[in-house]
Amino acid sequence: MAWIILIASGVLEAVWAIALSASDGFKKPRPTIVFVVAMVVSMLGLAFAMRELPTGTSYAVWVGVGATLTVVWGFATRQEQPTLARILLLVLLVGSVVGLKVVS
């Protein structure tokens, strides 16, 4: 159960990062509200997962999921250019997160 919550919290990390960008420095209320709610729930989920999982592994998975999804969102919205190097590095990041789960 802790792994599911941790991954969901990582997804919410991507949501708050994207909402933070969309808030235009907290000038737009809707993305600002999404940012605050997603960040609080993401942190609560991370804290819950850390009760059962090692801190280092939890944090690495949380950041890895969030960072990967944020970059993929940038690719999908054409805010970032998907180069071969970036794609290979994302594959390496995802592989590292999966590897941490396997050895835990």
For 47-54, the CB contacts below 8 A with 24+ separation are 48/2, 48/5, 49/2, 49/3, 49/5, 49/6, 49/9, 51/2, 52/1, 52/2, 53/2, 53/3, 53/6, 53/104, 54/104
pLDDT, tens digit (0-9, with 9 covering 90-100), for 32-76: 999 999 999 999 999 999 999 999 889 999 999 999 999 999 999
Q: How many domains does the chain divide into?
A: 1
Looking at every residue in the chain, the average pLDDT score rounds to 94
Residue 98: pLDDT band (50, 70, 90) is: confident
Enclosing domain of residue 80 = 2-103
What pTM, to 2 d.p., does this model score?
0.89
Average pLDDT over residues 16-43: 97
